[in-house]
A and B are shown apart, each in its own frame.
Chain A
């Protein structure tokens, strides 16, 4: 599958999952719909960027690093809007980026054609 498409799909899927975990925070339940939509959009955008990076670099190590960074950055923007819960938003966001990075290398077409480095 196309690397960018993998990034978009996995980023969006994990974004939905990430948004849904807000259900476990009672004060956030009322805004669950908005959180899920925002989290999905964040995952989608981050996934596209990570997929693009993976296609260019084709390195597992660098893609994991980049994915974590992009995930953390996007989550930081969300936390900035909220103005609180920085760590609680940035950590899961980073995890989404890390796993999306892994998936793009593992499933991406261009990465399969050329063995991943490092």
Chain B
């Protein structure tokens, strides 16, 4: 009997997991990543001569398959520059469900931040994430699993919110049916980024404020170890235990972050007179600099000429 090494066994497993792309217009290029529901492969669309990402279930399972199809449907209705567009949904010859989407080349947000971008840039990245989520909310879709690993920063600085596998379609305007494969009492999401009501297993009753909480957690993470007082206040408001104490919608949270970037007072933070003065000086630093430069020059002239 021949014993196989660990590497060989792992390779065999990977080959077994590989999607059967025969009778499709796709050719396997490589693995882009894997998640709880399945694996994302990079494939070549031979008809259109382009590379796309193909998400496929690791195993054929009815309930998970329903979730994958629903994710594709949710993505299909969210046409936004910050949300990955879906090209096609279907079933592979091996019976596993799949969908193809734009192949995004870039870094995950957590890796992107290893380059230590300035706080202003990090906040602008956050605004683009918030814009995409706000758009989804306007279309009646909650993400419910927002975290740095689910945000991609493209090669040209574009920001894309990924992994809508736990998305919830709100009733009323929803064109897509609510998740039949999702147990609404199950705890879905990622600890640390998940709203308390979501962690308590009330996934069915969460609303947009659960995503506000997750965005607040992302913002706190983006703010680093010592964020400015106004940023910390914004995070605290977004991360309030009770949904009623949070920003009522993502747009309100984004508006406060935009005010912070623009050097304006934020609604979440009551500043003192000195803090207000310093903020205004920072905001108009060029004007303040010009006046100070004039006064310094004038003082020098006064000192030299006596008038």
Contact = CB atoms under 8 A, between A and B. Distances in A.
Interface in A74-89: 85, 87-88
A80 to B, nearest CB: 17
Contacts of A25: 307
B297 interface: yes
* Interface SS, B side: helix
A103 B290 contact: yes
Interface of A: 10, 13-14, 17-18, 21, 24-25, 85, 87-88, 91-92, 95-96, 99, 102-103, 106-107
Interface string B266-307: 000000000000000000001100110111011001100101
Contact of A10 (B290, B297, B298, B302): B290
B196 to A, nearest CB: 45
Nearest to A90: B301
Which of B286, B295, B298, B307 has the most C-beta atoms of chain A within 10 angstroms of its own C-beta?
A: B307
A91 B286 CA distance: 22
B294 A96 contact: yes
Contacts of A106: 286
A99 B294 contact: yes
B307 A85 contact: yes
A14 B288 CA distance: 12
Contacts of B307: 24-25, 85, 88
A95 B286 contact: no
A25 B298 CA distance: 13
A99 B305 contact: no
B297 A14 contact: no
Interface in B237-287: 286-287
16 contacts: A10-B290, A17-B294, A17-B295, A18-B294, A21-B298, A24-B302, A24-B307, A85-B307, A88-B305, A91-B301, A95-B293, A95-B301, A96-B294, A99-B294, A102-B290, A103-B290
A91 B290 contact: no
Contacts of B291: 13-14, 17
B290 A95 contact: no
Given A18-B298, A92-B301, 10 more contacts: A13-B291, A17-B295, A21-B302, A24-B307, A87-B305, A88-B305, A88-B307, A91-B301, A95-B293, A106-B286
A95 B302 contact: no
A88 to B, nearest CB: 4
Contacts of A96: 294
The 10 closest A-B pairs by CB, nearest first: A95-B297, A88-B307, A91-B301, A88-B305, A99-B290, A25-B307, A21-B298, A106-B286, A92-B298, A99-B294
Contact of A103 (B286, B298, B301, B302): B286
Contacts of A92: 297-298, 301
A77 to B, nearest CB: 19
A95 B305 contact: no
Which of A17, A25, A95, A96 has the most C-beta atoms of chain B within 10 angstroms of its own C-beta?
A: A95
Nearest to A96: B294
Contacts of B302: 21, 24
A25 B306 CA distance: 9
Contacts of B305: 87-88, 91
Nearest to B295: A17
Contacts of A14: 290-291, 294
Nearest to A107: B286
B144 to A, nearest CB: 41
Contacts of B286: 103, 106-107
A103 B305 CA distance: 27
A67 B200 CA distance: 66
A99 B286 CA distance: 11
Nearest to B297: A95
A95 B295 CA distance: 10
A55 to B, nearest CB: 18
Contacts of B297: 92, 95
A87 to B, nearest CB: 6
